[in-house]
Amino acid sequence: MKYDVDRPIKADKRLPAGVADRLPDGIADETARREFFMREAIKLAKTAADAGDVPVGCVIVRHNEIIAAAYNEREKEKCATYHAETLAIERACRALGGWRLVACEMFVTLEPCPMCAGAIANARVPKLYIGAPDPKGGAAGGMFDLFKTNVNHKPEIFRDVLADECGELLKSFFGKWR
């Protein structure tokens, strides 16, 4: 099947409240662009923390438009697979009407776990931007690196995008709950 990278998005993106629809005009610098989208993911991570969930947020962007956004809802929805990335991938697939996230970029505040790294490979996400590293549970070089195996798809990975801000969020969350 041939994939149209410019195919229109269905109207029902249903982004969580307060999330930007797209990159504002005037941001031409690549670093500023990455940080803009990571800040949207950080907003979502804060929403997760407010609900008692580990603060992880994720946005999926296509042509500088946010097509899906999610945050960790494991506690809120009492479901082990409701990580920010899996929820965002599901929503992006629905928005695009297909499971291959061609021409998409994922911004996530914490290095993905093995489940999410697997989902990222399965969805063929071309570019992955990571905020904070996760030396204990990360599957993109922290605990191990799924993308250094023979997995059938490897995204291009950009690390440490606002890593300090993303990490602080986690630190203060665990400080509060311990």
Burial of 24 (0-12, 13-18, 19+ CB in 10 A): exposed
Edge-to-edge, what's the strand order for the sheet holding 156-158?
Answer: 65-71, 57-62, 104-110, 127-132, 156-158
| CB of 21 vs Zn ion, minimal distance in Å | 25
Mask 13-52, x = binds Zn ion (CB under 5 A)?
----------------------------------------
HSE (CB half, 13 Å, CA atoms) of 68? 25
C-alpha distances (whole Å) from 63 to each of 102, 111, 137 are 11, 23, 31
Q: Residues 41, 58, 60, 116: which binds Zn ion (CB under 5 A)?
A: 116
95 near Zn ion, rule: CB under 5 A: no
| CB of 101 vs Zn ion, minimal distance in Å | 16
Our answer to whether residue 90 is catalytic in this structure is: no
Q: Choose, from 85, 90, 111, 165, the residue flagged as catalytic.
A: 85
113 near Zn ion, rule: CB under 5 A: yes
Positions touching Zn ion (CB under 5 A) are: 83, 113, 115-116
